Amino acid sequence: MEWAETLAVLVPLVLICFPIIGLIAILAFLIALRYVRMKKTAMLMDRGMSIETSAQHRADYSARLTLLLGVIVSMIGLALSVALYPIGFVAGSPYPLALGPWMIPGLVPFFVGLAPILWHFLSNRDRFGRRR
């Protein structure tokens, strides 16, 4: 069998198998994540922590993770914006402040990253007499 015939059989087989393998990998990861979370909760309960405390621990971790991801995405957007800003001066931009459409790849992640940061600070109240 020639390589062209082998390739003609192999390409459709790969195109069918890759999405199935990818779906199986995603589902296996989600199952493993769920299992690890269950084991962690069981371990905390063995050490005397109540289910409510465990749920609060998970909520605190989730809030910190949301803030961290927001800061990371915002900083990437800010770095892109700073890197793309000189294009307006080089190109002789007719836009005010030398801002133009080339700034979109930096401004979009910047503002998308600001959303979880704002959510973190609006949903987690401060320590002055309110829930933290």
Residue 131 contacts by C-beta under 8 Å, 6 or more apart in sequence?
Answer: 125
- In this structure, the dihedral spanned by the alpha carbons of residues 91, 93, 97 and 103, taken in order and rounded to 10 degrees, is -70
Q: What is the pLDDT of residues 10-61, one digit of tens each?
A: 777 877 888 888 889 999 999 998 999 888 878 877 888 777 776 777 777 7
Q: What is the DSSP letter of 129?
A: S
Its pTM surpasses 0.85: no
Q: What is the pLDDT of residues 106-125, one digit of tens each?
A: 889 999 999 999 888 888 76
Contact 70, 116 (CB under 8 A): yes
Does the pLDDT at position 82 exceed 80?
yes
Count of beta carbons in the 10 Å neighbourhood of residue 15 = 9
Helix or strand holding residue 102 (H, E): none
pLDDT of 125: 64
Does the pLDDT at position 127 exceed 70?
no
